[in-house]
Structure 1
């Protein structure tokens, strides 16, 4: 694939750099925030070599690339920045169109998700360290009381404990705030003094200039710092204006922190923790629904992928792992949905007579089984329609079966055949994971094969 040419073609057909507000990416998609989506030539982009499809959701124009996304994103970013440096019109020089309530909600959701998306690789890497530790303990290589285990476990947990600092960075970068202000605000939330103020009496409140400050363990909480960085954006603009140039280098950040940090500790952080508690209530509710929740979420997951909304689950999944240390619903249902997507494509590969269709479906099967489902979703199942419906039904049925087997994830890693060890823990093991994946494949393959499809459609 010629990444540079693909990037040039995409840039030309989304309305040029002047129509782009921001560029991000997830595991499979180039996510653009466009000033005017009507300027994008979607039909042309969908037919570019290397593009699987286009989705529009959460205020983003999402170009689905697949496993080559890192290379395409790098090439596109370099091209985009170079074009801006050539003196062409920058995105922020154009007036924004009125958004309306829906637009503001989409923008808020986009900001919220984008604060987590850059952290996914390091969270997944930390999760795999936890998986490795679980395997080492299972095979008696390490004992959980050993200092080696404790230190390696600390390495795996570090990303969760200091999550407010990491999110402070990503939120500040996303909202165009001094990134070090964002990181310091996150650091304040995890400073040990806050918990020490509880004292021997386990007090729930202390005071700041007579104002009540709720004592909460904010490690692994992200929402408070996101909201505070949003406030800091406006406070910093104000302090920058009133600070004389001769002392601005220290007065501006000093005033920004003195204004925003107390508001965070007194109002925003406790409010954010309450909203985080509602996340936990939702998590508990899904856990109580058990196998039904897994089945329903497995059937819903491909629809979220189709609309590009699956990343909206990331904050909830992170909250679940940070608060309870496992996920018995969302990641297990994601595994089932991914395997089912591949199974439906495999059935198409077996039944198809056209060699090109067979080859495409077989390749998409392998991709889906290792966690990249877009080739199977857009290139095969959705294209022939009936395999898509069969995949949804197979996800529902096999998701319920996985729930009955108590399939539980103990690390946040994208679920696939390659990451089955994440399901090793108290309530499930590698055998449970293998059986659940096998059932998902067999059930969905059988349903798809029986339902069949019209091979002449879109061939």
Structure 2
């Protein structure tokens, strides 16, 4: 089992299982869950899970930050569940959680745009490179080579309403194919021609005047349209008979929604988007230094809470309407400032683990992925994060003063710098100066101001008050010893939960393998956790996937907090009935804190009885790791 497969399974389990998930999308570094009941998610355990950087709740979403490998983890979740499939399950249904308007709005915008980020960045970089090639005379914009490459770069933006129709329909549970057809109709040649050359007497739909708009690269109109379409789709499918709804519902949606979009949603959406964009452009025109400083200083704060998504439509709208955007460039200073703070930490710290973490986070930060460094380095240390905000404000002010513009979309970072290179390179030099200053100021402030450097961690024996020594674990079950790698459940087999052994039981009894305390007594009775007097943490999991039996065929004899001795009866279970229900009874016996031991080895193979030695644990001592 790969690391991503294991992480996907653990995350899905800790958010409450597939049945607790309404929706899931991902952005550059995080899985954004819409949960039915957030109380079912184990946030504390998720944050301690290997591979999870942090967990945030913002904008109505339960966000699990995993870093650069988020697409792979997302894909693995899709393999073991139906969450990511284009089905009604993938749509965000009403979880019963009201939330505030801002939270809901952020959730909607992020769910719609997050799946397009990778493509948007790639297409934006290509657009930027083509601009540079034309400015330096390497290509001529009338060459067929340029035409072909520009089509590849610009098609995503021109047909953006079609892509947004897909993600919006997924978000609200509408028919994706109908949604794409509506978006396609807005870009249909004859509709485009009506806007370019309207007929004499104007454009009408059954005598109702139609105000034609240009819909290529637009955002708001299609989102409004598909939101309403999705609601109608759900309503019609409930009311129309099964025998005809498969074609009657799409017919009604097409007949209703395209005219409604052209008459209402199009003009409202385009004008609203233009108004917001003009307001932000006006702010930069009024005082570009102050506006740039505010944007630079606040960008990472907006990203942390996920509310930066509210600005994404503004950036796209500016580029679509004006061919450029002067708001976004200042945000680039924030990315390089936090990266500079990470470098400052790397140079200052004496903690080897932190130095390695800060260095690797700085590399990803240069390419626009700052979350690992923020959550893992600068924010926990506090002062470096503040230094990053100061550096970003200074750099953002310089970029605002330079009048830098973005000419294509893409997440700010080293690779996307070409999107800021316009005709004649105007403002590009100012951008470079701004991000260099932001980086150096943040790194310098971090180094000079310092921070509370974490003490290098030592591996120590369990806190038992006793000298570290080898420990012997007794068999909790009578049966046959099986190698853990042979267990059918990959989480156990991969030792991701810890090292140990498994037993094929011949008697339906579980007894205590140690003298210690019951730390976990599952309500489903299929598993039990203990800690020995010497500190070994033991998990006994009766069967595979037997949690689904919900306690049926199990009888528990202990509760959490009970003190037990070797041989005390913990659980009884009916082997035959569990097998008849379709479940394996192979029982893993796991040492969940096996990382503190030099070795966890099987004491024997073959048949074994209760209380006979099954595992030998060799414990680290301070001398052994010196």
Q: What's 1:87 paired with?
A: none
The aligned runs of 1:153-192 (5 Å cut-off) are: 153-192=150-189
**Counterpart for residue 374 of structure 1:** 371
Alpha-carbon distance between aligned partners in 2 of 1:153 and 1:279, rounded to the nearest angstrom: 29
Query: Which stretch of structure 1 is more off in the superposition, 236-245 or 154-163?
Result: 236-245
Greater strand content: 2
Distance 1:441 1:3, change over 3 A: same
Q: 1: CA distance between counterparts of 2:16 and 2:90?
A: 11
Q: Against the structure 1 CA distance between its residues 457 and 309, is the aligned structure 2 distance closer, same or farther, given a 3 Å change threshold? A: farther
Residue 26 of structure 1 deviates from its aligned partner by: 0.4
1:402 is aligned to 2:399: yes
Aligned to 2:138: 141
Contact 1:295-1:400 at 8 Å conserved across structures: yes
Matched, 1:45 2:51: no
- Which SS does the other structure have where 2:55 is aligned? strand
- Within the candidate set 123, 126, 141, 1:126 is matched to 123
Alignment of 1:337 with 2:334, yes or no, is: yes
RMSD: 2.8
Which of residues 449, 455, 466 is equivalent to 1:451?
Answer: 449
Moved over 6 A (4+): 201-204
1:362-406 C-alpha deviation (Å, 9 max, x unpaired) = 222222112111122111111111111111111111211222233
Retained in 1: the 8 A contact 2:345–2:355? yes
Q: Identify the match of residue 317 of structure 1 among 315, 320, 338.
A: 315
Aligned-partner Cα distance in 2 for 1:39–1:268: 39
Match of 1:81 in 2: 82
The answer to whether structure 1 residue 206 and structure 2 residue 203 are counterparts is yes
The answer to whether the 8 A contact 1:126-1:156 is kept is yes
Shift of 1:78: 1.8
Using the size of structure 2 for normalisation, the TM-score is 0.67
Supply the distance in 2 between the matched residues of 1:418 and 1:68 (Cα, whole angstroms).
18
**Structure-2 separation of matches of 1:97 and 1:433:** 46
- In the TM superposition, what whole-angstrom CA distance separates every residue of 1:286-322 from its partner, at most 9, and x where no partner exists? 4313232221111101111221223332222211221
Mapped to 2, the partners of 1:239 and 1:137 lie a distance apart of 52
Cα pair distance change 1:210/1:345, threshold 3 Å: same
Aligned pairs, how many?
451
Q: Name the CA shift for 1:39/1:50 in 2 (closer, same or farther; >3 Å).
A: same
Matched, 1:364 2:361: yes
Cα distance, 1:17–1:240 mapped onto 2, change above 3 Å = closer
Residues 195, 213 of structure 2: 8 Å contact kept: no
Contact 1:413 1:422 in 2 (8 A): yes
The higher radius of gyration belongs to: 2
- Whether 2:70 is the aligned partner of 1:69: answer yes
Tell me the secondary structure at the aligned position of residue 30 of structure 1.
strand
Which stretches in structure 1 are left out of the alignment for 5+ residues? 85-89
In 1, distance between residues paired with 2:191 and 2:97?
42
Distance 1:230 1:153 in 2: 31
Q: Judge conservation of contact 1:290–1:329 (CA < 8 Å) in 2.
A: no
* Structure 1, 241-250 or 254-263: larger mean CA deviation: 241-250
Q: Give, in angstroms, the shift of residue 108 of structure 1.
A: 4.0
Aligned position for 1:304: 302
Of stretches 321-330 and 282-291 in structure 1, the one that deviates more from structure 2 is 282-291
**Per the alignment, in what secondary structure is the counterpart of residue 115 of structure 1?**
helix
Residues 410 and 197 of structure 1: is their aligned pair in 2 closer, same or farther, counting only changes over 3 Å?
A: closer
CA distance in 2, matches of 1:204, 1:414: 45
In 2 relative to 1, CA 458–377 (structure 1 residues): closer, same or farther, beyond 3 Å? farther
Match of 1:35 in 2: 36
RCO greater where, 1 or 2, for CA within 8 Å and sep 6 or more? 1
Greater shift, 426-435 or 442-451, is seen at 426-435
Cα 1:191–1:417 shift into 2, 3 Å: same
Match of 1:280 in 2: 277
Contact kept in structure 1, 2:172 and 2:230, CA below 8 Å: yes
Deviation at 1:356, TM superposition (A): 2.1
Secondary structure at the counterpart of residue 210 of structure 2: strand
Q: Is the 8 A contact 2:174 2:231 kept in 1?
A: no
Contact 1:13 1:45 survives alignment (8 Å)? yes
Once structures 1 and 2 are overlaid, which stretch shifts more, 403-412 or 296-305?
Answer: 403-412
How far is the alpha carbon of 1:46 from its aligned partner?
0.8
- How high is the TM-score relative to the length of structure 1? 0.90
- How far did 1:234 drift? 3.0
- How far 1:41 sits from its partner (Å)? 1.3
